Amino acid sequence: MKFPKKLCEDTVLEYIRTKTPLSGVPAGVELPPNTDLGDLAIALPLRIAKKLQKNPMEIAQDLAEYLLSNRPELEAVEVAKPGFLNCRFSDRYLIKEMLRIVDADSLELPQIGQDSSILIEFVSANPTGPLHVGHGRGAIYGDVLARLFQAFGYRVEKEYYVNDGGSQIERLGRSLKLRLKEEAGATVDFESELYKGKYLKKLARRPEIDVSMSVEELAKFSKKEILSWIFDSLKKSRIEFDNTVFESEVASRSKIERIIEKLAAVDLVYEKEEALFLKTSSLGDDKDRVLIRGNGEPTYFINDLAYHLNKFDRGYDRMINVWGHDHHGYQQRLLSGMEALGCEKSRLEIKLYQLVDLYRAGEPVKMSTRAGEFVTLDELLEEVGADAVRFNFLTKNHNSPLDFDIDVATSRTEENPVYYVQYAHTRLASILRKAGSDFENSVVGSELSKASHDLVFKTLCFPGFLEDVLKGREPHKITFWLRELASKFHTFYVEHRVINYEDEELTTLRLKLVELLKLTLKTGLNLLDVRAPDKM
RNA sequence: GCGUCCGUAGCUCAGUCAGGACAGAGCAGCGGCCUCCUAAGCCGCAGGUCGGAGGUUCAAAUCCUCCCGGACGCGCCA
């Protein structure tokens, strides 16, 4: 099935191809500023008038006639100054599509990803402390992105990369040891590099460990415990992973050596001041980067190269990394490194999300894992609930910093936009419950009111809209779209009574619309993994 | 200093990638609406030099240049 906008675009492109000498011109089909003008607007004549040396109004007139005779789904195409076209679809077409979708009980998203596999790596927070709200934002973004790809037929794997190498784990062990000493009555002094969070105090009281254990043993213990906290928090956010990959396994000594050999073979490494460098500056990075430190220890960077080489070797068509914006300076380094290893770097895509600035009663809360002063994702989930957290983290573009005032989020839960959309779904369910199976008239030749026409048209555009959302990796647009549809429905609900035993044909038609709207809201909420309740 | 992102209504933000018809929501404010499918809702009013200045264009919030403000990054940390 083709969506309304796609139908129009195809015909406009056909017109360009057959009736003009131009090529490579986008169709310019868009939504009009308001629905009184029509269902779709076309600005093409204004864009090509100069190239064709013609009056835009003349082109518009010609294109309008072409559209009307080649697109039977269109009922009217009007020309407007200074050269716009406004298209209106016929009620017959909209009703036919509506009935088809309602009968199938599915929006039938095109399975454009059927032959592609995709790996989405996200969260990947270090196992040195519980997840905070900032992690939550990346988690929801990655998860919904994965769900979107799945809905379009892609084979998707969700992956968590555990940075359990390097000095941070050793510091974690030392931090826990200090807390144990403290428990035993000693006065302790924390270096600035150590983790001072209260979660380690909690851990220090666990019976399995005691102060005599080595830093290494304590590190292993706390890493395992904290990781299970993290996966618990994610589960409460309705997020589960297909793969968990450990840095300690994927970046073993032998694998590191193999990477160095590979890079040396293409003459991209050199030694300087006892350290081994990669010539990333010749591949687009600002400067060369250290692979092996002067003390012989591998850097995080070379371990990451090993991990990503492992990813590439697994043969996915596309790999997406979701990172916090504080890593943006690291992007080029990784991409240059992968290029040095001969990987096709266009298969790897890095999406950054801006961090969350937390406020409490208008006052900024400084978050730092080491200082241990932060609000955990668990606390937020506890106070606000998974539906509201998931929905709200997607009400802003991932490129924009998110200001999150805890007091606002917790004290005004009724005003949360997620309830607005859920309530629309509830009202729809309530109407269907009430109507039962009393109305079974034929509606094929019916006419739609303006409000119904607009509602059907908008929902028919949803699959195409989702495809755009997927291509742009911008799942936050779904929450805006759902809010818009809910708003249009709430208005419709107040102005039109659906169930009316005096006019069964009209009632049947409106019930079909109700079914269509309910299915659409449910599909959208499912993509976000937010509940679509029948009762509230 | 260099780099990335952000700057749109009192507040939080869509819209910027693919330039088009009077710049849109939500919240907060003010005023209305429940004998009727859930008022967690609806309707109306008010609120804007789209950070600033130039430029390109028939047309700029959108593209280009410069400037101002904010966040983040620029380790042999991860």
pLDDT, tens digit, for every residue of A315-355?
999 999 999 988 988 999 999 999 999 999 899 999 999 88
Alpha helices in A341-397, H assignment, sequence order:
377-384, 386-393
- pLDDT at position A488 is 94
Calculate what percentage of chain A has a pLDDT beyond 90.
73
In tens, the pLDDT along A144-156 reads 999 999 999 999 9
- Residue A401 CA to nucleotide B68 C1', Å? 20
- pLDDT at position A349 is 93
This complex has an ipTM of 0.94
- pLDDT at position A166 is 80
Residues facing residue A85 across a β-bridge: A42, A79
Alpha helices in A184-299, H assignment, sequence order:
198-204, 215-236, 247-250, 253-265
Measure CA to C1' and name the residue nearest B4. Answer: A328
> Does A69 score more than 60 pLDDT?
yes
- Residue A207 CA to nucleotide B69 C1', Å? 53
Measure CA to C1' and name the residue nearest B27. Answer: A415
> Does A52 score more than 80 pLDDT?
yes
Closest nucleotide over all strands to A477 (CA to C1'): B14
Measure CA to C1' and name the residue nearest B19. Answer: A47
pLDDT band at A365, cuts 50/70/90? low
- Alpha-carbon Rg of chain A, whole angstroms? 29
| Residues present in chain A in total | 536
Task: Report the pLDDT averaged over residues A16-29.
Answer: 87
Closest nucleotide over all strands to A33 (CA to C1'): B21
- Residue A482 CA to nucleotide B78 C1', Å? 39
Are A489 and A424 a contacting pair, CB within 8 Å?
yes
Of A447, A532, A455, A435, which Cα lies nearest the Cα of A495?
A455
In whole angstroms, give the CA distance from residue A137 to residue A364: 18
pLDDT band at A133, cuts 50/70/90? confident
CATH topology of domain A416-528: Isoleucyl-tRNA Synthetase; Domain 1 (1.10.730)
- pLDDT at position A219 is 95
Closest nucleotide over all strands to A50 (CA to C1'): B58
In tens, the pLDDT along A258-276 reads 999 999 999 999 999 999 9
In tens, the pLDDT along A82-108 reads 899 999 999 999 999 999 999 999 998
Task: Report the pLDDT averaged over residues A509-517.
Answer: 97
Which sequence spans correspond to the domains of chain A?
4-89, 416-528
pLDDT band at A227, cuts 50/70/90? very high
Contacts of A330 (CB under 8 A, 6+ apart): A323
- Residue A426 CA to nucleotide B62 C1', Å? 38
Closest nucleotide over all strands to A56 (CA to C1'): B58
- Residue A511 CA to nucleotide B36 C1', Å? 17
Contacts 24+ apart (CB under 8 A), A430-438: A430/A534, A430/A535, A431/A498, A431/A499, A431/A511, A431/A514, A432/A511, A432/A514, A432/A515, A432/A518, A433/A534, A434/A499, A435/A498, A435/A499, A435/A507, A435/A511, A438/A501
- Residue A141 CA to nucleotide B16 C1', Å? 21
Closest nucleotide over all strands to A300 (CA to C1'): B78
CATH topology of domain A4-89: Gyrase A; domain 2 (3.30.1360)
Measure CA to C1' and name the residue nearest B3. Answer: A329
Bases of chain B below 7 A from a protein C-beta are 3-7, 12-15, 17-18, 20-22, 24-28, 36-43, 58-59, 70-78
Helix axis angle for A462-472 and A4-19, nearest 10°, is: 80
